[in-house]
Amino acid sequence: MMKTRTILLAAAALAGLATTAARAEDATLTVWDWKSGDPVTAPYYEKVKADFEAAHPGVTVNYVMQPHDQYYTLLGTAIAASRGPDLVLVHGGSQAKERVGAFVKLDEAIADIRNDVVGWGEFADAAGAVYAVPLSIQGFMVYYNKDLYTKAGLDPEKAPATWAELEANCAAIKEKAGVACFALGNKEGFGADFFLSALAANGWTDAQQADWAAGTLHWSDAPVKAVVAEWLETWKTGWYSEGANSTLKFMDEYESFMRGENAHTIGLISDVAHWKQFDEFLGADKVGAFPMPAPTPAAEGPVRMPFAGGIGYAVTRFSPHQDLAIALAKSFAAPAAMQIFFESAGAIPASTKVDTSGLSSPSAKVVLALLGCCGASIAHNNMSTAEVEEWHRQSQLLFTGETTVDGAVTRLDEVQAAAKKK
């Protein structure tokens, strides 16, 4: 009897072990993103999948590309249901920070790559704990059309270094080239976000940026109010293309710039609306780049570019394969894969091990030079989503004349205070 029982117990234990082993081998990691189906980034995703599956026999990486404009709605549903992806791609800043409760803390797991990758701060909570592995660096540069500079009688190789120079260039472009100085799409409010961060990079001190992130620098405080006032002033001066409130930033604004209908645009340094895309349309020698100067610089020295961790992979708390998912998140930031991401998509990688020496684009060289010396925070990444949404609304109402700078900052102060209360 005893012998039979022992045999049965052993069989049960073996069956359990076999089941566990089978589960480990059969694991499928579901990855949500909005990029894996893009032909430009496809080689990078294929490389990560191939390398990871080869290193982890039996594991399948399943990419699920979601529509970008519905991404956070879908992600919210998955998080609420505690079901779905093991890994999710998220934007750095408020979109990541407001969801850290749903993600696995990664500090210990990423200790070995922490010094090889930059941009962690955009995926960290208030205490500094990290919740995603950054893939790319995001930043905001002003790109300009050198042909239109020539047409306006300006030196195409001399980018404006001060606000006064930019104002003078805009006046010349409007008068002599007959086009708007800046392409602008603010239908979704993104145009206002980019403008805010571009001006804050040089109009605010580092201490003010820190206060902004902490919610102690308010919209009605002088440095912030000055940016809001400048947003309205540049509109009144006629810097922008008509119909900004009904023009999409992605991609109507950029397509307009690439068609040569406007002289400047505030673009990105990641894998879209960036130097590579503009080079392909206008010709690399026809595109210039410079960081946006501020009307009143907060400090002396070179003009700074706002940049930070752009997008990164977080592991969901409800993932049944958390260890594997963390390993896959790190694989996305592996130098060999990142090199492909950089070369095929032109995205500035978060990994410092990627070789960027082969770049020949003049505007890309300006971007890389600034990365090494002159960075500032991305101000709109440090706003709550409620503040971001209200800034979108107020930025449009300033253009339609339905609010004033005072009215806008008062309303934004209220939203900021309410968000901080939570």
Partner 1 sequence: MTSATETHGTATAVRARELLDRNPASRAERRFGILFVLPALALVIVFRIVPLVWGAGYSLTDYNGIDAPSYIGLQNYAALATDPAFRDSIVNTLILLATLPVWIGLPLVLAILIHQGVPGGRLFRAVYFFPAVLSSVIVGAIFNMVLRYDGSFNAMLGSLGLSPVDWLGNSNTALFALIGVQLWSTFGMNVLIFLAGLSTVPEELVEAAKLDGASTLQTWRHVVVPSMVPIIEFATVATTIGVLTSMFGLIYVLTAGGPGTSTTLPEYLIWLEQGRMNRPGYASAISIVLFGVMAVLALVQIRIMTKNAEI
- Nearer to partner 1 by Cβ, of 113 and 235: the residue is 235
Distance CA 239, CA 391 (A): 20
- Nearer to partner 1 by Cβ, of 374 and 397: the residue is 397
Establish how many alpha carbons lie within 13 A of residue 79's alpha carbon, considering only the half-sphere containing its beta carbon: 21
| 405-421 and 385-400 helices, crossing angle to 10° | 170
- The nearest distance, CB 187 to partner 1, in angstroms, is 6
Distance CA 261, CA 250 (A): 16
Count of C-beta atoms within a 10 Å radius of residue 12: 10
* Bridge partner residues of 262 (DSSP): 180
- Nearer to partner 1 by Cβ, of 48 and 181: the residue is 181
The residues, any chain, with a CB within 8 Å of residue 254's CB and separated by 6 or more, are 183, 185, 265, 267, 273, 277, 278
Contact 162, 220 (CB under 8 A): no
For the chain, give the number of residues.
Answer: 422
- The nearest distance, CB 360 to partner 1, in angstroms, is 35
- The nearest distance, CB 180 to partner 1, in angstroms, is 12
Which of 180, 186, 228 is CA-nearest to residue 408? Answer: 228
Contact 313, 135 (CB under 8 A): yes
Q: Which amino acid is at 22?
A: A
- Nearer to partner 1 by Cβ, of 353 and 411: the residue is 411
- The nearest distance, CB 159 to partner 1, in angstroms, is 28
Give me the numbers of helices (H) and strands (E) for the chain, helices first please: 16, 11
Which of 93, 159, 113, 104 is CA-nearest to residue 131? Answer: 104
- Nearer to partner 1 by Cβ, of 184 and 305: the residue is 184
> How many angstroms separate the Cα of 157 from the Cα of each of 141, 147, 274?
16, 11, 19
φ, ψ at 349 (rounded to 5°): -75, 155
- Nearer to partner 1 by Cβ, of 101 and 358: the residue is 101
- The nearest distance, CB 222 to partner 1, in angstroms, is 25
- Nearer to partner 1 by Cβ, of 72 and 281: the residue is 72
- Nearer to partner 1 by Cβ, of 87 and 350: the residue is 87
- The nearest distance, CB 72 to partner 1, in angstroms, is 6
- The nearest distance, CB 96 to partner 1, in angstroms, is 12
- The nearest distance, CB 314 to partner 1, in angstroms, is 12
**Which residues sit at the interface with partner 1, rule CB under 8 A?**
70, 72-73, 76, 79-80, 98-99, 101-102, 187-189, 242-247, 385-386, 389, 392-394, 396-397, 399-400, 402-403, 411
